[in-house]
Amino acid sequence: MASAVVAWFPFFSYNICQRGANFLNLPNQLTVLRIIMIPIFILVLALPIDLGTLDVGGVDLLTTHLIAAILFAVASITDWLDGKIARSRGLVTNFGKFADPLADKMLVMTAFIMLVELDKAPAWVVSIIICRELAVTGLRLLLVEHHGEVLAAAWPGKIKTATQMVAIIFLFINNLPFSLIGIPLDQIMLYVCLIFTIYSGIDYFIKNASVFKGSM
């Protein structure tokens, strides 16, 4: 599934360009690809498709969950690539500033919601993560509107993002291969990501409290 999406991407890019959407440079194309992968990711998990089960060292893993994990990993790689390419080649655009963080949050929140549905993650943890993401998104919009600033990711936010992605992938694949040696890496990463989700959210609001001056 993931390989099919990647193979289709050049065709998608060509057609977008042919339609005159010149604002979609390479980083923005990667961002749009990530957004397009989200409904594919949902369909793989939500449709009643039986692709069988893999037995890995006595641990059962649904093939659809493995495919979903691969899709999420590919989408996460495009998240790293689009920002790196945009900064190194001077291709930063307003569309990218808007769509890139939006695509990231859509992807992560969708994955966590599906994990709750599959009973692989506790709902209370996911609720906190989603509330934080929405709150920081609102803060970003306020900063752009009132100060013309884009809220840059600080190191707690970067750790939060990295641990979120690792946790999601291992939760989907039943913590393989670490489940074979009794190390609950998926749960460790989930709660580390929760800690940094809360910490980074508080940090962002404390450092940017000036945006609320005179409004309360």
Domains of the chain: 2-210 (1.20.120.1760)
- Residue 22, pLDDT > 90, answer no
Q: Kindly report the length of the chain.
A: 216
- Bond from prior residue into 39 cis (ω within 30 degrees of 0): no
User: What pLDDT, on a 0 to 100 scale, did the predictor assign at position 179?
Assistant: 93
User: What pLDDT, on a 0 to 100 scale, did the predictor assign at position 167?
Assistant: 96
Q: Match 């940017």 to its residue by tokens.
A: 208
**Amino acid sitting at position 8:** W
User: What pLDDT, on a 0 to 100 scale, did the predictor assign at position 127?
Assistant: 96
d(CA 57, CA 63): 15
Measured between alpha carbons, how far is residue 63 from residues 39, 81, 145 in Å?
A: 18, 27, 45
Q: Per mean pLDDT, which range of 24-38, 45-59, 146-160, 195-209 is the poorest?
A: 146-160
Q: At what angle do helices 26-46 and 2-18 cross, to 10 degrees?
A: 140
User: What pLDDT, on a 0 to 100 scale, did the predictor assign at position 149?
Assistant: 61
User: What DSSP designation does 150 have?
Assistant: -
d(CA 63, CA 191): 26
User: What pLDDT, on a 0 to 100 scale, did the predictor assign at position 92?
Assistant: 79
